[in-house]
Structure 1
Amino acid sequence: MLTFSPASSAITLAVIALFGTLPTALPAQDGESSPVPASKLPADAKWAAALSGPGVNVYVHSRELFLVPKAGSLQARKLSIPRLCAPIRSLRWLDDAQQNLSFAPEPDHWVFSWKKDVQADAMIKVELDEEPVVLAQCPATEPAGDGSIMLHAHDGKTFGEKLRYEPQWYKNTIGYWTIPTDYATWDLKVSEAGEYSVAVLQGCGAGHGGSEAMITLLDGETTVAKLSFETIDTGHFQNFRWNHLGNIRIEKPGDYQLRIGAVKIAKGALLDARAIHLVKQAK
């Protein structure tokens, strides 16, 4: 029986909805049979219908994914799965950690590719830092007990041409922010009205600081607060520092959406954003 780490009921239900049951032999999809025996998987692994597709069968065990390429993907040396609301801790071929394996995140899916042919029973193991929830089922961020709200990059939704979530362990960020009209949003719940300080954990390459950005807090279609800020040069897009932006006032508890967008990109890219922290201020 599959067990889950403590999390919100919304996340647990979303994860359960992804899975089928594990057969003694891996299921045939689109007329294809997998040569991989079920014995190579953890005993309580589950087949994830929502993550599987024409080129791959995906099995989930807690925070681990097992990707079984189908014949077409083996020939093309490439497969993809939907984007998840989870950072990647590691990825490798299950039986051959030295075999080449490349990873490229796209805005709505993740691509795995390799340069040389692999065995017919090859399997990719992906370790995640969160439960494997697809973006459409990612719940709103709940406040901590002290009322503060931490918005992580992996929970953000991206819109536009280039912007995307980059889940690799050395990135774990909203990145590719090169198009001024691209923007990112986070759904959040606020438990207390009041004044909140806002900080962004951001990275920005050498010589790329000084861009102008805007944080907007929305209640449905109504703008509740705006906070403009300037990005800081951190020497590299994967060097992250807290940028303390100022305060916003939230008049009532409820469900909100926070949006970050560019006002003016000074050079190359706006920033990489790993997290946004809202902290309620004392009266």
Structure 2
Amino acid sequence: MARLHALCVLDGLDQMDVATMLVTLDDTDATVVRHAIRIAEPLLADVGDDATVLLAKLGNRNWSDHHVRLQLAYSLGYSKTLMATRLLARLARDSVGDPFLRAAVVSSLREDNYADFYSSISRHRATAGWYQEPIMQMATRLNDRELLSQMVAELLERIDDPIKDASDFHTLADTLERIGKKDRQLTRKVHTELADFIDRILLLTHSQDAETSYRVDVVRIIGAVGQVKGAVGQLKGAVAQGNHQLLNFVHPSEPPELQIAAAKVLADNETAELVRRYDSLSPVVRSHVLDILISKESTASQLVAAIQAGTIDAGSIGASERQRLTTHVSDKVKSAAAELFTSASSNDDRAALFDRYRNVSSVSGDANAGRLVFEKQCAACHRVKQIGHVVGPDLSALKNRSLPALLTAILDPNEAVEDKYRSYNVLESDGTVTLGMIAEETSVAIKMLMNEGKTKSILRDEIQQLKSTGKSLMPEELHTVISVAQMSDLIAFLNDVGPPPKTFPGNQPRTVVADADAVVRLAASDAALYGDQIVFEPKHKNIGYWSNPNDYVQWTLQVKQPGRYEVFLDYACPDHTAGNRYQFVCGTEDLSGTVPATRNWDDYRTIEIGTVELRQNDSIVVFRSSGELKKNLLDLRSITLRPSR
């Protein structure tokens, strides 16, 4: 410890010299050596003899301590000498299986040393394989034509049998896609080698030994090579031949993943053919084809034109796809789609829309049928009971499950959307459009979260435009695909995914039926209690300790005589906690007000809080606080509904 303190003091006084550093590097304690290497970074940054002496010392030792090796990998990046780069390469070769050291090595690579580093490790296949991805990214970003061509040529040379050399084959597909996306050039020699390679792999696509993953990579390679800048002559011909063969892959007899990969490659130049085959595609493939076509302005325009012409049935375009088209980054696509999907139902004002669903009842709904509605219309963004994808809010954690709240969330998702759930359109430099939520941000990239839980990281220097749609990712047009009966089923299913009610002696939730005079008494003993603090108290048979805004109670009632009903509250609430706001919800009816004071917790009073319309079906009644609470809401003994005179 004393030696370490002395070392740090010398560093703080700026008195560290090479002679002292050489002695310190021979220390028997790994912690002292590690800090010595860190403190040596300014010395390593020099280009004179001192740095050479230090590097020679560092290179002559076989550092066994993991932390020392990690620090060395970080610190070697300060030196701009070939000697340091070769030492960094040696560290990389000796620590192939260490992900932390690999990350440290990559952090020390720069524009002036990455090519020499790759040259030093390229003869060691295992090492080169681990570092190929970051080196390729740097070469692509820096437009290093020679190194890019060298790396592609090495991959082509290594792939003797594409089926057996599956890993290298997949890497080649990734590499070519990156080069094509960045619009980079390769040498003429590599163009010729790629043309021969495409001719060879096309013959293997019909081999019985060729797995689907291999055939998908064939498709990716053909598509990527077609994007490589400057492809002419033999290479251009090979790509054209490959694209012609890819049309055969968009067929029901082929695996879905192969059809999807082929459609992605063909979208730009064979949009009309994809549209023609749309009706023959399975739902999974059709969904991906729509996603591909919507992602660019040119293909989205052709898709909208095909729907307008009746080539594609507008009814086959789901709510999510409609939302993407009507909020498209292209004004041309957006306006055409808005006109196309405008219907009588979507022109209804909000009141008329909700009036259509006035007979919805979760009690009469079938939760099993609602599960099917959820799988079809909601699972792309929500996950409950192991169904669907985690994109939107957690529905199992919903606090307000009243019918108005659920209907509002489904039919008008933009009424109260949180900022974190707002969607954005991202236009990339290659013309690709991505609609999703911003899940993460760093200084160099953003991560988009899309339907079906898909994610996509986009580098900031590839973003041409980022624009908020001002709306939720959830579609607005669900009323066009969910009928009133299906809505009852869906809400029954959603009400079945929350937490179970709390249990107390004397409290047994049941369906409440009106008496002979059509009076409905909702006793505390019949209610389902939910929340953190709320309890059933046996003394007055009331619901008490109502101190948390998340607490609520719920009754199920059976209405045999429809009409207007007066609502009465039987409660106690002393002056020191009175004045909190409550909310009473029954079906689509909603009453709210302020709790008046009673003398004490044993003084119960009955007050009328308003009237509601009850329809002839089963209904859910919810009573809860409205907003934050000052102490306790009230002690509730019952709520009574009497037919209006």
- With normalisation by structure 1, the TM-score equals 0.48
Which structure has greater helix proportion?
A: 2
- With normalisation by structure 2, the TM-score equals 0.22
Which structure has greater strand proportion?
A: 1
Over alpha carbons, which structure has the higher Rg? 2
